[in-house]
Structure 1
Amino acid sequence: MGYNVLKELWAFRKSFIFWFVPIAACPLPIYFGVAETDFYKEAACAYVVIIMAFYWMFEVVPLAVTALIPLILYPVMGVQPSGDVSKNYLKDTNVLFIGGLLVAVAIEHVNLHKRIALGVLLVVGSQPRWLMLGFMLATAFLSMWISNTATTAMMTPIGAAVLAELFKDEDKLAKEVEGESNEAVELDAIDVEGKPPEYDNVVAENGEAVTEQQETKPPEVQIVNEKESSRRQSMQKGLMLCIAYAANIGGTATLTGTGPNLIVSEQMEIIFPDSPGIDFATWFFFAAPGMVITLILAWLWLSTLFVGCRCAEDCACCGQKKRSGAEDVIRKAYDELGPISFAEGAVIFHFVLLVFLWFFRELKFVDLGEKQAGWTYFFIPGYVTDATTAMIVAFALFMFPSRPPRFLCCRGKDDEEKPGPVPGLLDWPTVHTKMPWHIVLLLGGGFALADGVEKSGLSAWLGQQFSKLAGIEAWTICLIVCIGVAVFTEVASNVTATSIFIPILAQMARGVCMNPYFLMVPAGIAASFGFMLPVATPPNAIVFSYGGIKVSDMVKTGFFMNITSLLVLMVMINTLGVPIYDINTFPSWANDTSTPCF
């Protein structure tokens, strides 16, 4: 009876949190609204922050819906007028993200992402260890430019199909050795977009792996089958986790790779308007080397844990080179894409153009006085941003033809179609279907929350409280902060973690007289280090839903990944952070009259 009651209460936990949190926290604004009115705005803002933190953490309502709370509570409680709150939902950073998403949609629309992934897999080969590396390289590269969720959703079924063919190939080779069959290896059609295929082994109700016709086989054969089944399950877990972790890691390398990066950039401009800010190039030069190192260490850890240390057998140089069914299925899937189409080539051109324009917009290491070096030298300083660049390329995608022009002399002799313009690389129905609009609202909600913290005076009060930590070493504070953010993001989305912590960390840096880059940039990257739980990130949830992976597997593997990633991050911020962000000095633009450091 008691168990059923608890089970039913658990089913209504979201409804309970929805009502309990606002009611439990309401004495905060009530008390300061009556007894100490001078602190009312700060208290009201803290009340909104508490509600949003719990709603985001437990997903009481959809995350994007929670992001709309500042539009309701800030005006009602007198924190900010509605007009000021609304401006945060389509700021320059949101526009940059939209432009990047439009280019990502174009890449998916012409199947260029699949060509890149399969091409990488063909290069690395079909041995399990190198397959894992190939999937990680392809996933990490794609997640730098398109959403981590879309990348994982595409790579996971491909990985399942490759594994199925690899196991099938091993079974047929084993039968040939036993003399049971000398038939040539033939491949069945594999649907890489479907569910993961069923392998030979099944799992009994007691959790032990068994195989078909187990009861009729000798005991020694059963032992061999159980070992083989365990090895295959281990390989399946390893490959799926490789895809999820590579998606999480790859998104940290570029400013548009994942939401937390953009939140750090935007908060730097909001809280420190006189700062140099963070653009695409500076973020990439800092984060990309760390991403590569973390990815390599992740591959070494996962391949050792799930494949073993049989380096000589797996090495393409030392081991015996042989063509396997897994390699055949990859080659078959790649060949089905055909040669690079006109549309794919056009998208590649626009993608390269976008990256080129981002990198060379402003060359901050070149001093030209009032003018900024780079192609924006010819425009009014400060007017053209990374968002402008993204919009230029995104707009061009709707106009650039997806097929060769069919105008006058450009029409072929055998072209019998009615004259007229060809469709563009992108069309609005495609964008409407594939565009993750909820992320734009989620980012806007984070910006609105942080803006309210700044305008209400809550951030200044926090800065005064954190000034008591001034005696602690800067790297120690940075390490503690990154660990806290990484732990928090295990139970909440990474956008939620950064939306809550980044404004607080900015004031902490000001309070202890640290360079704000020293805390804000590592914290933003650490928010993507959610490796231990399925709910930590969408990639984790996707691979977990495919089956075969237990929570204990993810916790055991992800714990070491968290430690390794944070150590690499600490090394990067204390090395590359010095020339890129000058973290060893406290800049004048971060000084505040409430907590003066000069």
Structure 2
Amino acid sequence: MIRAGLLFSTLSIFPAIFGFYQSWLGLTPAQEINLAIALVVSFLWVTELIPLYVTGFLVLFLELVWLIPGWGPGAPKTITFLSCYFSETILLFLGGFVISSAISFYGLDVSIAKFVIKNTKGSAFFLVLSLGLATAFLSCWMNNTATAAMMLGLVSSMMKSLDETSPLRKSILFMVPFSANLGGIGTPVGTLPNVIGIAYLQEKGFHIGFLDWMAFAFPVFILSVLALAGILYIVYLKKEKSIQSIRLIQVREENTSVSSQRKLISIMIILITILGWISSDWHGISNGTVALFPVIVFFGFSLLDLKEFRNLSWDVLILMGGGIALGKAFEETGLAKHFVTLLMLGDSSQLGLFLFFSILSLFLSCFLSNTSVANLILPITMGLPTDLILPAAIGATIGASLAMPLPVSTPPNALAFSYGGIRSLEMVKIGGSISIVAWVFFTVVGGFLLHQLHIVDFSKF
């Protein structure tokens, strides 16, 4: 694999050194170098030949030592790319990480899950639906993989007591990861593609408010989770005749060493932050600035300690910075506009590009990580005419999170598959079905709400 990576990197860089891309594709010298860098880092992101965050650093390194020196007159300053690694968007996601850490540290996730599971009234369907809604809600604020791991861990003792062919066991193993995937689209901080998409849009001067995002995304993921529960009922749960398995549910105990007062304070901090994000359009403070509030308060008042600070997903922030920096290069060199012209996308309608990029992202995310797909597709949308950028970028962003037919499609899928008892073909059937249904909800319901909120205008054809 390493040899293949070195070979691909060499084949990507070699034409740029001798100016072949310029003659083949009609590129400028800067665009040619940009393309070579994009090919190399995209290959590394897709194959994960080296850690993803290292590739994030590699983007910056190549831009500073190759792109800018080879640019010639009019080259941007180094700060143009350096600033991508601590931008407004990075701050937004950092705040999300701190909230996620607090939710886990103070056992708030366990409290929510325990309440849900304990009040299922002996119904297998209600249990699975409640588990899905709780997972999706937590996934709006926490890392998708961490949410899936936590929720599966809460009911792992029950699953061990069930036969691997149990309809209830299969339903849980599908509901949890798929709900974690779907819940991620609910807020701007829910999943990496959201944050990457918002970062690209902000660079172009488009600002979607936290509340506006939730206004179109929340109905989509709630309807999708309800539809997933319906699919699981039809395929599995209507065969579940006994409620005995429901009574076997056990969840891990909450952390009793944490005082109720500190837990209450943490809840208040989280709620104030969420309220600050939701009302950012009214008070005028940016979401990134609001995100600094939980960082300062939680660590400044020792509600979270240095260990928790060190355990934040700094590698993810570097990965995001690399993606943003790559997109910035696409914008500065004009390579994105060149691709749009080459693919003849500039004459399409807003609705046409919304559908096209959502389908393209969904298809690619079936086989690649949604983060990689976002980093690959979003730079191209930035080269569209100004009035077409927003619908194309939103389609690409959300579409990347709706693909879940294979164990390799998302980390939550792989985690659930590792528990055993479900076959790849079953995941293709259930995951493929909900991917299609969720895409329909997104394009129809989400598209309608985007139009009604005047975020996009689908009346122009």
TM over 0.5: yes
Q: Does 2:103 match 1:95?
A: no
The letter for the 2-side match of 1:18 is: G
Tell me which residue corresponds to 2:303.
425
- Counterpart mapping for 1:408-419 below 5 A: none
Contact 2:350-2:458 within 8 A present in 1 as well: no
From the superposition, tell whether residues 264 and 35 of structure 1 become closer, same or farther in structure 2 (CA, over 3 Å).
closer
Q: Does 2:55 match 1:66?
A: yes
With normalisation by structure 1, the TM-score equals: 0.70
Question: What is the CA-CA distance between 1:127 and the residue it aligns to?
Answer: 2.7
Tell me which residue corresponds to 1:155.
151
Partner SS for 1:26: helix
The letter for the 2-side match of 1:375 is: H
Question: What is the CA-CA distance between 1:394 and the residue it aligns to?
Answer: 2.4
Tell me which residue corresponds to 1:348.
267
Tell me which residue corresponds to 2:40.
51
From the superposition, tell whether residues 457 and 28 of structure 1 become closer, same or farther in structure 2 (CA, over 3 Å).
farther
Q: Distance in 2 between matches of 1:576 and 1:34?
A: 42
Question: What is the CA-CA distance between 1:235 and the residue it aligns to?
Answer: 2.9
Alignment partner for residue 485 of structure 1, among 361, 369, 374? 361
More helix per residue: 1 or 2? 2
1:484-520 CA distances to partner (integer Å, 9 max, x unpaired)? 1112112222111111111202323x1xx75322111
The letter for the 1-side match of 2:314 is: W
1:3-28 CA distances to partner (integer Å, 9 max, x unpaired)? xxxxxxxxxxx213311211222343
- Counterpart mapping for 1:82-231 below 5 A: 82-164=78-160, 167=162, 199=163, 230=165
Tell me which residue corresponds to 1:283.
213
- Counterpart mapping for 1:249-398 below 5 A: 249-270=182-203, 272-273=204-205, 275=206, 277-308=207-238, 324=244, 326-327=246-247, 329-330=249-250, 333=252, 341-362=260-281, 374-376=282-284, 384-398=285-299
Q: Distance in 1 between matches of 2:41 and 2:230?
A: 39
Partner SS for 2:28: helix
**C-alpha root-mean-square deviation of aligned residues, in Å?**
2.7
Contact 2:95-2:291 within 8 A present in 1 as well: yes
Question: What is the CA-CA distance between 1:237 and the residue it aligns to?
Answer: 2.2
1:387-428 CA distances to partner (integer Å, 9 max, x unpaired)? 11111132112244xxxxxxxxxxxxxxxxxxxxxxx32111
Q: Distance in 2 between matches of 1:585 and 1:475?
A: 5
Tell me which residue corresponds to 1:203.
none
Question: What is the CA-CA distance between 1:292 and the residue it aligns to?
Answer: 0.8
The letter for the 2-side match of 1:28 is: P
Question: What is the CA-CA distance between 1:575 and the residue it aligns to?
Answer: 0.8
Q: Distance in 1 between matches of 2:3 and 2:175?
A: 37
With normalisation by structure 2, the TM-score equals: 0.90
Please identify the structure whose Cα radius of gyration is greater: 1
Q: Distance in 1 between matches of 2:346 and 2:272?
A: 46
Q: Distance in 2 between matches of 1:103 and 1:158?
A: 20
Question: What is the CA-CA distance between 1:568 and the residue it aligns to?
Answer: 0.8
Q: Distance in 1 between matches of 2:255 and 2:342?
A: 62
Question: What is the CA-CA distance between 1:102 and the residue it aligns to?
Answer: 0.7
Question: What is the CA-CA distance between 1:128 and the residue it aligns to?
Answer: 2.1
Tell me which residue corresponds to 1:5.
none
Partner SS for 2:238: coil
- Counterpart mapping for 1:413-492 below 5 A: 424-433=302-311, 435-467=312-344, 470=347, 472-492=348-368
Taking only the aligned residue pairs, the percentage that are identical comes to: 24
Contact 1:33-1:40 within 8 A present in 2 as well: no
Question: What is the CA-CA distance between 1:579 and the residue it aligns to?
Answer: 2.5
Aligned residues: 452
Question: What is the CA-CA distance between 1:148 and the residue it aligns to?
Answer: 0.8
The letter for the 1-side match of 2:308 is: T
Contact 2:102-2:266 within 8 A present in 1 as well: yes
1:184-235 CA distances to partner (integer Å, 9 max, x unpaired)? xxxxxxxxxxxxxxx5xxxxxxxxxxxxxxxxxxxxxxxxxxxxx74x1x43
1:14-69 CA distances to partner (integer Å, 9 max, x unpaired)? 21331121122234313427976971111111111111111111111111111222
Structure 2 unaligned blocks of 5 or more: 69-75
From the superposition, tell whether residues 86 and 469 of structure 1 become closer, same or farther in structure 2 (CA, over 3 Å).
closer
Q: Does 2:434 match 1:504?
A: no
Contact 2:364-2:373 within 8 A present in 1 as well: yes
Tell me which residue corresponds to 1:591.
none
From the superposition, tell whether residues 289 and 242 of structure 1 become closer, same or farther in structure 2 (CA, over 3 Å).
same
Contact 2:133-2:222 within 8 A present in 1 as well: no
From the superposition, tell whether residues 325 and 25 of structure 1 become closer, same or farther in structure 2 (CA, over 3 Å).
closer
Greater shift after overlay, 339-348 or 136-145?
A: 339-348
Structure 1 unaligned blocks of 5 or more: 1-13, 168-198, 200-228, 315-321, 363-373, 377-383, 401-423, 588-598
Q: Distance in 1 between matches of 2:255 and 2:249?
A: 11
The letter for the 1-side match of 2:219 is: P
Contact 2:197-2:397 within 8 A present in 1 as well: yes
Q: Distance in 2 between matches of 1:299 and 1:553?
A: 15
The letter for the 1-side match of 2:367 is: V
Contact 2:451-2:458 within 8 A present in 1 as well: no
Alignment partner for residue 539 of structure 1, among 403, 409, 412? 412
Contact 1:357-1:389 within 8 A present in 2 as well: yes
From the superposition, tell whether residues 156 and 585 of structure 1 become closer, same or farther in structure 2 (CA, over 3 Å).
closer
Tell me which residue corresponds to 1:28.
15
Q: Distance in 1 between matches of 2:226 and 2:411?
A: 22
From the superposition, tell whether residues 339 and 46 of structure 1 become closer, same or farther in structure 2 (CA, over 3 Å).
closer
Contact 1:149-1:539 within 8 A present in 2 as well: yes
Question: What is the CA-CA distance between 1:339 and the residue it aligns to?
Answer: 10
Q: Distance in 2 between matches of 1:341 and 1:442?
A: 36
Q: Distance in 2 between matches of 1:112 and 1:581?
A: 36
